[in-house]
Amino acid sequence: MFYVEEGTVFLIDKPIDWTSFDTVNFIRSLFMRFYGIRKLKVGHAGTLDPLATGLLILCAGPMTKQIEDFQAQVKTYTGTMILGQTTPTFDLESDPDNFYPTEGITAEQIDQARQQFIGDIKQYPPKYSAIKIKGKRAFDYARSDEEIELKARDIHIDDFKVNMDRFPELDFEVTCSKGTYIRSLANDFGKALNNGACLKTLRRTRIGEFHVEDAWQLEDLKQAIIDSGEEYREWKKQNEISKT
Q: 243: pLDDT confidence band, cut at 50, 70 and 90?
A: low
The answer to whether 69 is a known catalytic residue is no
Q: Of the candidates 125, 157, 155, which has an alpha carbon nearest to the alpha carbon of residue 142? A: 125
Q: How many domains does the chain have?
A: 2
Predicted pLDDT of residue 151: 81
- Whether residue 88 is found in the same domain as residue 189: yes
Predicted pLDDT of residue 139: 60
**What are 132-190's pLDDT values in tens digits?**
655 666 566 556 666 676 788 999 999 999 999 999 999 999 999 999 999 999 999 99
Predicted confidence (pLDDT) at residue 222 exceeds the cutoff of 90? yes
- Whether residue 185 is found in the same domain as residue 224: no
Cβ 23 vs Cβ 79: under 8 Å? no
Predicted confidence (pLDDT) at residue 244 exceeds the cutoff of 60? no
- Whether residue 125 is found in the same domain as residue 17: no
Cβ 232 vs Cβ 103: under 8 Å? no
- Whether residue 93 is found in the same domain as residue 159: yes
Predicted pLDDT of residue 20: 94
- Whether residue 52 is found in the same domain as residue 67: yes
Question: What are the residues whose beta carbons fall under 8 Å from the beta carbon of 117, sequence distance 6 or more?
Answer: 157, 160, 185, 188, 189, 192
- Whether residue 82 is found in the same domain as residue 53: no
Q: Tell me what the mean pLDDT of segment 1-18 comes to.
A: 94
Work out the number of other CB atoms within 10 angstroms of the CB of residue 6. Answer: 10
- Whether residue 30 is found in the same domain as residue 61: yes
Predicted pLDDT of residue 206: 98
Predicted pLDDT of residue 237: 83
Predicted pLDDT of residue 125: 87
- Whether residue 38 is found in the same domain as residue 106: no
The CATH code of the domain that includes 139 is: 3.30.2350.10
- Whether residue 142 is found in the same domain as residue 164: yes
- Whether residue 103 is found in the same domain as residue 177: yes
**What are 77-113's pLDDT values in tens digits?**
999 999 999 999 999 999 999 999 999 999 999 999 9
The CATH code of the domain that includes 226 is: 3.30.70
- In terms of residue numbers, what domain contains 219? 4-71+211-243
Active-site position among 13, 17, 49, 69 = 49
Predicted confidence (pLDDT) at residue 214 exceeds the cutoff of 70? yes
Q: Tell me how far apart the alpha carbons of residues 38 and 158 are, in angstroms, rounded to a whole number.
A: 43
- Whether residue 99 is found in the same domain as residue 167: yes
Q: Tell me what the mean pLDDT of segment 120-139 comes to.
A: 72
**What are 10-59's pLDDT values in tens digits?**
999 999 999 999 999 999 999 999 999 999 999 999 989 999 999 999 99
- Whether residue 164 is found in the same domain as residue 221: no
